[in-house]
Amino acid sequence: MTEKIRPRQHQILRLLLENKAGLSIDEIATALNISRNAVQQHFTGLERQGYIQTGVLNKTAGRPVRSYVLTEAGINSFPKQYAWFSELILTDLKNELGSEAFQHFLHKLGSKWSPSLLPQFEGKETDERIEALLKVMDGMGFNVRNMTASCSSERTIEACNCIYHDLAQKHEEICEFDRTLISSLLDKDIEHVECMAKTGTVCNFKIINK
């Protein structure tokens, strides 16, 4: 689990954000009016979490001084507006295309993306494909589980998290991307039995046996 960023650590990250070429321990200690030891202790935590890394070794008249810079994770620890921007784009696209064409667009998007994942599924039986799909969806953040009972031939996949829940509530057509992706990777028709964007407690996908 990622540790919570402390207020002082956030100040350090902000300084490094404003000085992307990097800062030394002494420079940060001076800027924040704290000791070098305190900065080093915060650096230990920030490096462990992957937010900072050592930068270039600056040669001065005295001893060489190591600078520290933000990693991509450090940059991404600051607020972003991905959901707002995505909603802006999707709303405009839906208004231009209309609901039916917008859903068709998301279907095509799912169809185009699925081939990049198909090598993980080729040559596998349905049960093996389901397990591979669970790993893919978990990696995306869906928090899924296989609800197939050993005594039943009915196969069901249940997702406890919708990775674009707010967007799906406003644009239910987005679910077509999931349905297309799941169906393509399993090579099976599916039925979207329950949906969190439509007051459901989970997203439930029933696999239709042909």
Instruction: Say whether both 51 and 152 belong to one domain.
Output: no
Distances (CA, A) of 98 to 84, 102, 164: 20, 6, 20
Instruction: Say whether both 195 and 96 belong to one domain.
Output: yes
How many structural domains compose the chain? 2
Phi, psi dihedrals of residue 173, rounded to the nearest 5°:
-60, -25
Cα–Cα distance for residue pair 63/87, rounded to 1 Å: 52
CB contact at 8 A, 16 and 52: yes
Chosen domain end from 76, 110, 126: 76
Q: Residue 121's domain is classified under what CATH number? A: 3.30.1380.20
Q: Name the band, by pLDDT with cuts 50, 70 and 90, for residue 2.
A: low
Is 191 exposed, middle or buried, given 0-12, 13-18 or 19+ CB atoms closer than 10 A? exposed
Instruction: Say whether both 16 and 61 belong to one domain.
Output: yes
DSSP state of 160: S
The strand ranges marked E within 14-51 are: 23-24
CB contact at 8 A, 125 and 209: no
Check whether 152 has a pLDDT greater than 90.
no
Cα–Cα distance for residue pair 23/119, rounded to 1 Å: 45
- Whether residue 170 lies inside any domain: the answer is yes
Per residue in 7-40, pLDDT tens? 999 999 999 999 988 999 999 999 999 999 999 9
Instruction: Say whether both 101 and 67 belong to one domain.
Output: no
Q: Residue 41's domain is classified under what CATH number? A: 1.10.10.10
- Whether residue 23 lies inside any domain: the answer is yes
Percent with pLDDT over 70 in the chain: 94
Q: pTM, whole model, 2 decimals?
A: 0.71
Instruction: Say whether both 96 and 71 belong to one domain.
Output: no
Instruction: Say whether both 109 and 143 belong to one domain.
Output: yes
CB contact at 8 A, 133 and 63: no
Instruction: Say whether both 52 and 115 belong to one domain.
Output: no
- Whether residue 2 lies inside any domain: the answer is no
DSSP-derived 3-state class of residue 68: strand
- Whether residue 82 lies inside any domain: the answer is no
Q: What range defines the domain where residue 179 resides?
A: 87-208
Cα–Cα distance for residue pair 147/202, rounded to 1 Å: 12
